[in-house]
Structure 1
Amino acid sequence: MSKTRKSIIANFGILSAAVDSDPQPAEPQPAAVQPPSPTLPRVGAGVIGAAQRSIGELRDERDRLKALVESGAGASLELDASLIDPSPYPDRLADDNAQDFAAFKATFEAEGQKIPIQVRPHPDRPGRYQVIYGHRRLKAAKELGLPVRALVVEMSDRDLVVSQGIENAARQDLTWIERALFAARMDDAQIKPRDIKSALAIDDAELARMRGVYRAVPLDVIELIGRAPKVGRPRWGDFAKLFSASGNGSALVEKRLRADGMSAIGSDDRFRLALTALKTRDPETDDGAADVLSLRDADGRDIARVKVSAKELRIVHVGPKGAAFSAFLQAEMPRLVERFARKDDADT
């Protein structure tokens, strides 16, 4: 079996293994794949949507892709890396340090690209592409000024996120919080919950746990902490509860992690320090006992947290809807002041 054909079949990950486990008559070994032509047609959406398909349908889809590869129509293309944009649904946080990627790039330069990345035509910018998976390979190629081998597939937004999830589930190298953030970005893009669960191979309970974290902890706080590969769901759940209860969690975490020297430590240690900051009262940011009220939209999603104490009224918006609510509230402030003034005059 040629390397190119292997790269196509490898895209099936764990799903391809399920198909192969169904007994079938032995197939003759195909002829070697010919080098790709510069005008190869694009491959279709492939195995995406697998959670809703039967094993028989998956087998038919696999056989169709194998036929494309054997005919030379499914081989990878060499593309200018500068023409490829990131996925609209990023699934990775930054590496803890530059050394990890530097080692990867050195290997990439010395040994070449062994596995094609997968891209789709950019839906809004003709002549450009969006990467589906292979982000590190693409980044290395861009920094080295090299072209990148890629398999081009036609794919909808829904199929793209499910494809990323299937590929990442097979590799199992995303941390728990990266998987949760991937779910959050799909949620924000109004991807249906069943497709989020299919993409990440999770159930209703796990999706609820992820939502409990990413709806409580702002994205900028999670990005400040980082990948935290040794931190799993239970500790992130505890972190989210403490963050919600603190009323000023962002200030506490940012003050601790933006101190001198903090950028040089690993993300697991940053998580530990952030958790400690939430557990420790800070006289400069904690003004004593306060009532914390969560404001939610009609769907039950948090859009803001209101902290009321003897010293202040603080409103912290949460998520994309929260930002819109904050803008709405600012626009309404003059009218609220007028209403308050009329009420004050009436009371006196």
Structure 2
Amino acid sequence: MKKPARQSIVASFGLLSQTASESDSESMRPDAGLENFTTPTPRVPAGVIGATQRTLSDIREERDRLQAIVDAGAGGIVELDSNIIDPSPFPDRLPDDDDAGFQEFKRSLAEDGQRIPVQVRRHPERPERYQIVYGHRRVRAARELGIAVKAIVRDLDDGELVVSQGLENASRQDLSWVERAVFARRMESAGIRARDIRGALSIDDAELAKMRSVWRTLPDDVIIAIGRAPKIGRPRWLELAAELAKAPSQIVVARETLSADKVRAEPSDIRFQMVLSAVSGAKAPLEKPTFDLMASDGQSVGKAMFGNREIRLKVEAHSANEFASFFRSELPELMKRFEASRRGR
């Protein structure tokens, strides 16, 4: 007699993320980093994935048990040397734009101590070390402060670890779109089924297809160099992927743009915009200033620059406010003249 199919842990995670109470403790929320994003992703054998199957009640019981441990602040929590804890082999974070937030977090940890334990598993190849399930920032802060880390040690194989992160991701609101896409790729590379990836991240098949179109077109190093880009949503990433799909050689342009020191110093949202502009406008780049804005007395007011997709006005500081006010007032009439010229063609 054929046994009925059992629901995989990832699908169960997806269901749990939809039904769990919104009052779940913030202590179960990861703040994973991406120090080793380029670590090669091991492929999980089908047997390993099958071994991760559990029932929904099992997952509920484990979460409740871990939450009780955290609330009690006692049994099950150990102190580990932060120097023997490695990042997860399946990172889900891209680097932050600046370090200010982390430095504040580290200062708080130094003053108030670690209130919430991290979760780790024993390193599968180096039993004297551990790997993070969640809590990357806490481990990094403790390492820099030279203090031990409070942790809960879990017995997880690769499949369980990656889908555990999927569960956490499903309830996190601060992951950018591209970070979610990158993590979906990580799960797919680990052999997780598409339906389980959709359940883990609470997305549909169409959304997963859009994510695939981005990660299959943009190389890892380009995505990493751009960064989190929290203000850049799916449409813009799809636009960039479409530009590179039309002209794959433009990936060289993207890499060259991102290698410039002045670009690396910009926030990730700006880096994205600069790459998109470079890739889409490479055949007809913005021209050099072609029109000097001169007052009747010969004083320079600014410069006008014209490109195939944009016009830039750079106004001198002494005239900026006055010129901006004048330009705003003239725009309605200018648009009327523009429309009239179009009709007259």
Deviates more, 1:144-153 or 1:189-198: 189-198
- C-alpha separation between the residues in 2 aligned to 1:18 and 1:170? 11
1:190 maps to amino acid:
G
SS in 2 for 1:82: helix
SS of 1:138 mapped into structure 2 = helix
Q: Which residue of 2 aligns with 1:205?
A: 206
Q: Is structure 2 residue 214 aligned with structure 1 residue 221?
A: no
Higher relative contact order (CA 8 A, sep 6+): 2
Distance verdict in 2 for CA 1:59–1:190, change over 3 Å? closer
Q: How far apart are 1:194 and its partner, in Å? A: 3.0
- The residue aligned with 1:147 is 148
CA contact (8 A) 2:69 2:77 kept: no
Instruction: Report the counterpart of residue 167 of structure 1 in structure 2.
Output: 168
Structure-2 separation of matches of 1:280 and 1:69: 53
> Aligned equivalents of 2:283 and 2:216: distance in 1?
24
1:191 is matched with which residue? 192
Query: Equivalents in 1 of 2:227, 2:144: separation in Å?
Result: 23
Q: By how many angstroms is 1:68 displaced?
A: 7.2
Deviation at 1:147, TM superposition (A): 0.6
Question: Using a 3 Å threshold, how does the CA distance of structure 1 residues 179 and 96 change in structure 2: closer, same or farther?
Answer: same
**Residues 74 and 159 from structure 1, CA distance in 2 versus in 1: closer, same or farther, beyond 3 angstroms?**
farther
Q: TM-score, normalised by structure 2?
A: 0.63
Q: Deviations over 1:53-90 (max 9, x none)?
A: 44x55555456657878999853111111111110101
**What's 1:119 paired with?**
120
Letter of the 1:98 partner, please give it.
Answer: D
Residue identity (%): 51
Change (3 A) 1:100 1:13: farther
Q: SS state of the match for residue 257, structure 1?
A: helix
Query: How far is the alpha carbon of 1:209 from its aligned partner?
Result: 1.1
For 1:273 and 1:15, the matched residues in 2 are separated by 40
Q: Is 1:280 the counterpart of 2:312 in the alignment?
A: no
Which residue of structure 2 aligns with residue 256 of structure 1? 257
2:266 partner letter = I
Written as runs of structure 1 = structure 2, the 5 A alignment for 1:303-342 is none
Does the CA-based 8 Å contact 1:96-1:266 persist in structure 2?
A: yes
What are the ranges of 5 or more consecutive residues in structure 2 without an aligned counterpart?
1-12, 23-50, 286-345
Say what the alpha-carbon RMSD is for the aligned residues: 3.1
| Cα offset, 1:201, TM superposition | 2.4
* Matched letter for residue 122 of structure 1: H
Where has structure 1 moved over 3 Å in runs of 4 or more?
A: 12-21, 56-74
Q: Which residue of 1 aligns with 2:98?
A: 97
Cα separation, 2, equivalents of 1:17 and 1:233:
22
TM-score (norm 1): 0.63
Q: Following TM superposition, by how much is the alpha carbon of 1:255 offset from its aligned partner in structure 2, in angstroms?
A: 2.1
Task: Give the whole-Å Cα distance in 2 for the aligned partners of 1:252 and 1:174.
Answer: 27
Q: Do 1:13 and 1:167's aligned partners in 2 also have CA atoms closer than 8 Å?
A: no
Task: Provide the C-alpha distance between the structure 2 equivalents of 1:91 and 1:99, rounded to a whole number of angstroms.
Answer: 20
Render the CA deviation track for 1:67-124: whole Å, top value 9, x for unaligned: 8789998531111111111101011111101222222222221222121111011111
Specify the alignment match of 1:131 in structure 2. 132
Q: Distance in 2 between matches of 1:20 and 1:193?
A: 26
CA distance in 2, matches of 1:276, 1:71: 53
SS at match of 1:119: strand
Q: 1:189 to 1:16 in 2, by over 3 A?
A: closer
Structure 1 residue 137: Cα displacement: 0.8
Q: Displacement of 1:177 after TM fit?
A: 0.6
